[in-house]
Amino acid sequence: MSQVTVTEHLLIHQKKSPAASGVFTQLLYDLILSAKLISRSVSKAGLLDVLGETGEINVQGEQVQKLDEYANSVLIHRMERSGALCLMASEENADIIPVPERFTRGDYVLIFDPLDGSSNIDVNINVGTIFSIHKRITSAAAPAIEDVLQPGYRQVAAGYVLYGPSTMLVYTTGMGVHGFTLDPSVGEFLLSHPDMRIPESGKYYSVNEGNAAMWDQPTREAINYFKGSENRRGQPYSSRYVGSLVGDFHRTLLYGGIFAYPKVYQKPGEGKGKLRLLCEAAPLAFVVEQAGGKATDGERRILELVPQRLHERVPLFIGSPRDVDDAMRFMK
């Protein structure tokens, strides 16, 4: 593995891009520090659970929190002190989170899912943190919801941290996608996957097929296409589904193929997506496009969707460009 740390990589990129500033680099630096703190706790999840059962106070005399609450509070606590942000939004918080006036406020807006797939924690399966960074667009003293409700193509950075067998950080600032692996012995993320490119097509499809009876006909046909032998490969794609978006996405990025969370119809005419546009779909869409892939909601490019609400949910088809195009032939 290279010896380039994520901080060095950021500084090199900062020189290449006049748009990037020292403030922005500080923001990413604080985000990385938060990820290391969360990673440390995730790796002890089983042990923390044991402590949690003894009365919810750990040996330090601290309240034992559920890990997703812990991850959320680590991110809010660290990032409001970064000096780069004016506003945050988290999957865990119903409303936007303005940076308190007692801290230095910057021009950036951070949206995150602190611990995606957290239902997998108890069974020791991968979880992740997803982040999306925008530049503020309003000019009044206080930041506003409009600063968060921006279409994905305006993101200045996005990425995720995967807490797997190794902890990995994958991010883009619009100049390709770069992956780093945390070396726990030195506490640094080291460049392990420079300039990541998603394969043109893959051999895996990834979807919760338990929902198949609640999909619409075009979705069923699209998924059947991958399962049949009349597809691009001339043989069935293999199925892979973790149920942790970061894990499923990361595999798709490396091996190619398609991940889908289509609309689910609980009642006729009322199809709904599950994944959140702002903190899940848009950041991963930015990453996948920067790696040469595609992301759509079945009709439109994810990055062009204009969010109407903070916790808006969308259907998602994301992955290798040919596989997403093949699925979209059924959707149109």
Q: Which does 231 bind (CB under 5 to 8 A by kind): ligand AHM, Mg ion, none?
A: none
Does residue 114 belong to the site contacting ligand AHM (CB under 6 A)?
no
| CB distance 250 to 180 below 8 Å | no
Does residue 260 belong to the site contacting ligand AHM (CB under 6 A)?
no
Report the residue number, 80 or 280, with the smaller CB distance to ligand AHM.
280
Does residue 68 belong to the site contacting Mg ion (CB under 5 A)?
no
The 112-141 site mask, x for binding Mg ion (CB under 5 A), equals: -x--x-------------------------
Q: Which residues within the stretch 76-95 sit at the binding site for ligand AHM (CB under 6 A)?
A: 91
Does residue 48 belong to the site contacting ligand AHM (CB under 6 A)?
no
Does residue 122 belong to the site contacting ligand AHM (CB under 6 A)?
no
Type of residue found at 224: N
CA distance 209 to 145: 35
Among 244, 290, 296, 320, binds ligand AHM (CB under 6 A): 244
CA distance 157 to 49: 34
Residue with tokens 């046909």: 221
What are the residues facing 160 on neighbouring strands?
A: 130, 170
| CB distance 322 to 296 below 8 Å | no
Which window, 8-16, 59-67, 164-172, 243-251, contacts ligand AHM (CB under 6 A)? 243-251
Q: Which helix (H) or strand (E) holds 14?
A: helix 6-16
Does residue 258 belong to the site contacting ligand AHM (CB under 6 A)?
no
The shares of helix, strand and coil residues in the chain, as percent rounded to the nearest 5, are 35, 25, 40
Type of residue found at 180: F
Report the residue number, 194 or 243, with the smaller CB distance to ligand AHM.
243
Among 92, 116, 289, 297, binds ligand AHM (CB under 6 A): 116
| CB distance 16 to 41 below 8 Å | no
Among 184, 194, 228, 243, binds ligand AHM (CB under 6 A): 243
Report the residue number, 113 or 248, with the smaller CB distance to Mg ion.
113
CA distance 321 to 193: 20
Report the residue number, 20 or 127, with the smaller CB distance to ligand AHM.
127
What are the backbone angles phi and psi of residue 45, rounded to the nearest 5°?
Answer: -55, -45
Give the residues lining the site for ligand AHM (CB under 6 A): 91, 113, 116-119, 208, 243-245, 248, 261, 274
